[in-house]
Structure 1
Amino acid sequence: MSSEKTPQKDAYDLILEAIDVGVYKPGDRLVESELAERFGMSRTPIREALQRLETQSLLARDGRSLIVASLDHNQLAELYVVRSELEGLAARLAARHAAAEEVQVLEALIEADRKLVSDPSALARANRRFHRQIHLASHNRFLVQQLDLVYRSMALMATTSLAAEGRGEVALAQHEAIVAAIKARDEEAAYDALKEHISSAFVQRLTLDSDAPVSL
């Protein structure tokens, strides 16, 4: 009797996940042999994954080496503009299409996240889960695909805006407003609340970046 095996993550997913959780940060060099040893696979799939990530601008060339790319000020601004519009649309569609059970999940996520306010890294991971749930609640597969691409690029940010003092509590309050609007089926309020949430995150991001030490 054959048993089903859990699908194995391929090299691309493993490297992308490592970047997303901060194992590899912007500027870090990625070496085929080291990645092959880390993930227990041959260098061929690693090489193909690195080429794919470079094509998607998640990796950049530094001489002959590949490094994790970083976002400059203009790229960051462009990313937040796109993210704001797409996330706002997701909230609008969630207010229209979300099942009652999906709203309950969103409410439960907020309650669970209150315990993580003092842990920015854990709260950042929880924040992605919350936003992902809104994306899914939009019931629009093409929008979800586009937001997945946006979140891939967000992995290139070295720090989370939730690391700023007091940002966690503010973000959770904003999450509550978003879910309340979705639950009330108020599409315009959901759209506005989500866009305001992204706008304040961008302001916090710019503030953190301006406080970072400058190399001369």
Structure 2
Amino acid sequence: MKAKVARHHVRDEIQRRILSGESKAGERLSQQSLARELGVAQGTVRESLLELHWLGLVESVDHLGVFVDKLDASRICEAYQIREVLEGQAARLACGNAGRADIATLREMTETIFRLAQENKNTETASLDRAFHMKIIELSRNSILLRLSETYRVLGMMVRAFREPKVIYEEHLRIVEAIEHNFADEAERQARQHVVGARLMIEQQAREGKFVFSWAG
């Protein structure tokens, strides 16, 4: 297994365990144990943990080791605040890059997300919803923005901010229509409002004690 592939495999596996709750907050992650279990060198595990530290999933304590970091609604909302800015910028930049085929793809995804939501296929809905937003980020053609988005996208895998499917459908359509007509200001505004809506729902659920993590991996 090539070093880069091995590192990604190890990172993704540790990430899965954290986001699914298999590895709990405060749990110490032993590089030696993980290397033995996953069949890789300790250096590969160390590099993977460094990536996860950058993503905010683990914390390193001097002389003690690496531990699973605490993730709560407040932390998730911080990620959504960053997501609002970055996805607004992505939608703005996409206006100058999206072709007819791209718009057709986004429209098809919008319709399918709505249909899946109506059928209560939550896992499929969440997966395609992430793909929809990822498509817009990719259309920004900005490699740094793409890289920065990785942090909040990983944290977002823990959350299903349930809102009315019809509301989400209409918001998605407004974003796509603004991009299609090259209305950069409107595309950014709609994309930001869409993310704000999800964050406000999470904050409301947290206040009411109803917010729970649900890995949508």
How large is the Cα RMSD of the aligned pairs?
3.2
Instruction: Report the CA distance between 1:131 and its aligned residue.
Output: 0.4
The code of the aligned residue for 1:151 comes to: R
Any idea what the Cα deviations from partners look like across 1:48-68, whole Å, max 9, x if unmatched?
Answer: 422442355321368766114
Residue 192 of structure 2: aligned partner = 195
The answer to whether the 8 Å contact 1:121/1:160 transfers is no
Inter-partner Cα distance in structure 2 for 1:209 and 1:98: 37
Count of residue pairs brought into register by the alignment? 203
Residue 146 of structure 2: aligned partner = 144
Q: Structure 1 residues 32 and 189, CA, compared in 2 at 3 Å: closer, same or farther?
A: same
Inter-partner Cα distance in structure 2 for 1:132 and 1:200: 18
| 1:90 correspondence with 2:90 | yes
Residue 214 of structure 2: aligned partner = none
| 1:212 correspondence with 2:212 | no
Any idea what the Cα deviations from partners look like across 1:88-139, whole Å, max 9, x if unmatched?
Answer: 1111111222121111111121222234211333322211111010011112
Instruction: Report the CA distance between 1:12 and its aligned residue.
Output: 4.7
Instruction: Report the CA distance between 1:142 and its aligned residue.
Output: 2.2
Residue 103 of structure 2: aligned partner = 103
Instruction: Report the CA distance between 1:37 and its aligned residue.
Output: 6.1
Inter-partner Cα distance in structure 2 for 1:25 and 1:103: 40
> Structure 1, unaligned stretches of length 5 or more?
none
The code of the aligned residue for 2:56 comes to: S
Matches within 5 A, 1:73-84: 73=74, 75-84=75-84
Instruction: Report the CA distance between 1:205 and its aligned residue.
Output: 1.0
Any idea what the Cα deviations from partners look like across 1:173-200, whole Å, max 9, x if unmatched?
Answer: 2111111111122112211111110111
Residue 183 of structure 2: aligned partner = 186
Inter-partner Cα distance in structure 2 for 1:109 and 1:202: 22
Inter-partner Cα distance in structure 1 for 2:37 and 2:205: 32
The answer to whether the 8 Å contact 2:94/2:179 transfers is yes
| 1:125 correspondence with 2:127 | yes
Q: Structure 1 residues 129 and 18, CA, compared in 2 at 3 Å: closer, same or farther?
A: same
Identity of aligned residues (%): 21
Residue 66 of structure 1: aligned partner = 67
Residue 215 of structure 2: aligned partner = none
The answer to whether the 8 Å contact 2:93/2:184 transfers is yes
Residue 50 of structure 1: aligned partner = 49
